[in-house]
Structure formats: structure tokens, C-alpha cells
Amino acid sequence: MQPRIAIVYFSSSGVISQVAEHLAEGATAQNADVRVRALGAPGENPAPGAGRPVEPTLDDLDWADGLLIGTPTWFGNVAAPLKAFLDTTSPLALHGRLADKPVTGFTSASLPNGGQEAALLALYHTMFHWGSLIVPTGYTHPVLRRVGGNPYGLSVTAPDSGALTADQIEAARFVGGRIVRMARQHGPVGLHAVRDLWSADLPVRPVGTLAVVDSRRA
């Protein structure tokens, strides 16, 4: 089985985008099919030749067997652009399309006590409603202690140089590989497990709960 992993994030300073890059490396090393999707930062000027980030869609979430979702820590909370995207996921969530998928969050802040744990816990509120399987980092690798010891998900303190440290890179690669292993052990949800949470005898589905196109493999 080749797990399909979607990495979806918003990055305001570039730190989260660096983390996402190394998460993808770790997932790819475990033979995953990886999609990296970034919400564009307002006013952000991409590097020459880099182009604008590929924006995430609901199909990216539906396609994936495992998810890595990242946000900078904004006042101990989820960044507004990412939260706005997550708030569009009702068509998937209400039809059980995100249930039982392994999900790990990742974040960064400028200070070690800048609200990183609070941001991850706030992020997971959405995943609770999805019915996803939240995969915390715990202390599953020694490097996680060296980068701060946050057991709720991967978090890094933004380095003064702007570039991630060797430990932060190693931690990201480990977490990227771990979500692949979790997805492989769990197996794909599959169409047989899709649930429609609105009763079939309802004459009209409430606005905002339209069915989505099935794109998962059987």
C-alpha cells in the first residue's frame, strides 16, 4: 500500500513552509504519495521562479489517507486563513469523508512559550468534529524533546537565522514518516466506510451539506 498524504498549511513568515518541506521529505522517504498545499499569505512575494503556492481544495483532504495540517501560532490560536479554509469542510465532514483519517498538526512561534501547545489544541477542535484519528507526537523520538518537548504535535521555535536547525529538520522528517506509518497500519477508509450523517428520508439537505464527488479509491 502506498499511503496518500496531504500536507496543508498557512505560513506567514516562511517557517511553517520550511517545516512542511521537511515533513514531505519524511513522508516521501516512507514511499508515500504526497501533496503539499499552501494557503497564500496576503501580500507575500514568492522567490523568483517559485510561483504562488498551490492552494488546497476539499478534494486534497478527501484524497488523502493521512493529513498533516500546519499553522503559525497567532496569539495561541490557529491563523485566520487556515481556520477559514477548515470552516469550508462541512461537505466532507457531514458525509463522513474525514472520519477515521490519521491527522497530525504542526505549528511554530517566535518564543518557546509563545502559545504553541494552545494553537495545536485549538487546531484539533476541528478534527474532533471530523471524527479523525488525532496522532500526537508524544515523545516517540528523542529529537522531539530537543526541539521543545511538545507532545501534542510538532512545534518549532522560529530560529533567529530564519533557517531551521538540524534538530528541527530531523523532527519534521520523523513526524512526516510517522503519519505515513500510521496511515499504512490503519489502511484506507475506503468507500464502504463512507457515512451520510443526514438521513436519507430528509426531503431537502440543509444548505452547505451538498454531497462531494467520490475520489477515494475503493
Q: What is the pLDDT of residues 143-164, one digit of tens each?
A: 999 999 999 999 999 988 889 9
Element (H, E) at 195: none
CA atoms within 13 A on the CB side of 132: 32
Percentage of the residues of the chain whose pLDDT score is greater than 70: 80
Residue among 41, 26, 102 nearest 71 (CA): 41
CA distance 142 to 28: 21
Single out the residue of 131, 195, 181 nearest to residue 27, CA to CA. Answer: 181
Of residues 210 and 127, more confidence is placed in 127
More confident residue, 23 or 206: 23
| Closest by CA position to 212, among listed 60, 10, 81 | 60
**Kind and range of the H or E run holding 154:** strand 154-157
Q: How confident is the model at residue 201 (pLDDT cuts 50, 70, 90)?
A: very low
Per-residue pLDDT at 40: 84
Distances (CA, A) of 117 to 45, 47, 85: 29, 31, 21
Global confidence as pTM: 0.84
Q: What letter would DSSP give residue 45?
A: -
What band does 51 get if pLDDT is binned at 50, 70 and 90? low
pLDDT of 189 over the 60 cut: yes
